[in-house]
Amino acid sequence: MLKDALKKVCDLWEEISRISVTTHASSISYFTFLSLVPILTICISLLSAVGLTEQDVVSFLASITPEALSGGVGALVADAFASSGLAFSLSTLALIWSASKGARAFRIGLNAAYTQEETRGTVTVSVISVMTGLITDIVLTVTIYLIFRGRALHLIATFVPILRRPDVFAAILITLATMGTGVIWLTTCYTHLTAGKRSFTAQLPGAVCAILACGILSFGFRLYVDNFSNYTMLYGSIATVALLLLWMYMVSYVLILGGIINRLIARERSNT
């Protein structure tokens, strides 16, 4: 059993080296960073329509990012709120197109992870990238809405006393909402964003592994930045940008690994 496990780890490492995961992760993190304001602008317009406030969005993002990023995150949200009135005006198409830049880079990275050549037309690929950007906005909106307007855990808390503590309740609610919507979103990306045909359920193992790994990675990164790092002294005023890009790079790397895991599992099943 140990020998089989080591072989699988070696296979994964060979795949990581062969498809240059670091290059694709760098591209995804860069273009996603450029897409942040358009994504937040559209998301905030949707949240405003259901009665959520700027503070609700800041609270959610602050709960999943290191304390050192709180100032930069607050500034991004404030800029997005200031521009949110534009989200459903004549600039809507420009915002959606800008928000899809990260999705296009993600598609290229996943095609490499699944070793798929892109056979779809330029128009089809562009539409899929734009739709992925929109779905990402909706997923983010639903996640924040579930946390601040959801009622399921409030009902459960009446029967489980420990959930009545605000800190425990908030932590569990954020974890469940983020991971649940994250798994569905990532499985959909693995299924439809990449070239080729594959079943939704077959992509669940990689999606679950990737989302769990992202959660552990983000928690460890937050602890490190908040307690041990020296980024503010090293980077000065651009520390927030450096940290955000580093975190996005690591998350992008893990998301591509999820696709590789799915492909290796499919290959193993086909060989048995």
CA-closest candidate to residue 219, choices 184, 259, 174, 185: 174
Rounded to whole angstroms, the maximal C-alpha distance in the chain is: 60
Q: Where are the beta strands (DSSP E) in the chain?
A: none
Length of the chain (residues): 272
* HSE toward the beta carbon, residue 157, CA cutoff 13 A: 16
Do residues 100 and 183 touch, judged by C-beta distance below 8 A?
no
DSSP structural state of residue 88: T
Distance CA 62, CA 40 (A): 14
Instruction: Render each residue's pLDDT in the chain as its tens digit; 272 residues.
Output: 666 667 777 777 777 778 888 899 999 888 888 777 777 777 777 676 666 676 777 776 666 666 666 666 667 667 666 665 554 454 556 666 766 788 888 899 999 889 888 888 888 888 888 888 777 777 777 666 665 555 444 545 555 555 555 555 556 666 677 788 889 889 999 998 888 888 899 999 999 999 988 888 877 877 777 676 666 666 666 777 788 888 889 989 999 999 999 988 888 888 76
The SS3 call for residue 93 is helix
pLDDT of residue 87: 47
Per-residue pLDDT at 132: 83
